Structure 1
């Protein structure tokens, strides 16, 4: 299942917003996936004009090692 936020903190000052959030989802092998994220946004006219995102690479890397990438078949 897609990662969904389960906890978050938001800070804003001027045109900058920082969102720190924890997300949970289910990997294709049926094992829960949990990770922490930090997004830094520069807002312009009420929309995100620039976004820098960070995540904890250890849980992400574990899923990449544990769950093989789906095989895509090229059309014949």
Structure 2
């Protein structure tokens, strides 16, 4: 009789251990409130960047509209425009407007990959357009965008500096009207 009781006791202990293990596994796989919020933020940021690129491709806007006024944009590497621009206006005035003034047809982006991790969105894309001299311009870019409240607050941009520098030196910007 004692052995039956001992076996029953072992069965109860094994069942309890199995239940505890299952409960811990279920708890471990439940996303925390922080993880759910992070996932929501990632999805929102990724959607905002995708929308900006879609507008850019359609010629109806651009991801630059997501820049906060005090956004810091860094062009990495050794291009003629590589440095950190401390505000949106500095970046737009010194890089984007002069670049666009060198183009006959606007640059059209095509996203290869778009990732989000917490407040950072990484977009890897190709862009093509026709310069004012009739020559094509094509480049591949990787942007690392830090976002807060749906706005880009800091960016690091990587691209082929040789292709960029060639366009910058070869094509004079159109004069503003």
Tell me which interval the TM-score lies in, with the shorter structure as reference length: 0.7 to 0.9
Structure 1: give runs of 5+ residues left out of the alignment. none
Aligned residue among 25, 31, 50 for 2:135 = 31
Aligned residue among 157, 163, 166 for 1:59 = 163
Give the TM-score normalised by structure 2: 0.37
Task: Give the match for residue 9 of structure 1.
Answer: 113
State the alpha-carbon separation in 1 of the partners of residues 173 and 153 from structure 2: 33
For these two proteins, the number of residue pairs brought into alignment is: 71
Instruction: Name the stretch that deviates more: 1-10 or 22-31.
Output: 1-10
* Structure with bigger gyration radius: 2
User: 1:42/1:2 Cα in 2 relative to 1: closer, same or farther (>3 Å)?
Assistant: same
State the alpha-carbon separation in 1 of the partners of residues 168 and 124 from structure 2: 23
Give the TM-score normalised by structure 1: 0.79
State the Cα RMSD in Å. Answer: 1.7
User: 1:41/1:71 Cα in 2 relative to 1: closer, same or farther (>3 Å)?
Assistant: closer
Q: Which has the higher helix share?
A: 2
Structure 2: give runs of 5+ residues left out of the alignment. 1-104
State the shift of 1:61 in Å.
1.6
State the shift of 1:8 in Å.
2.7
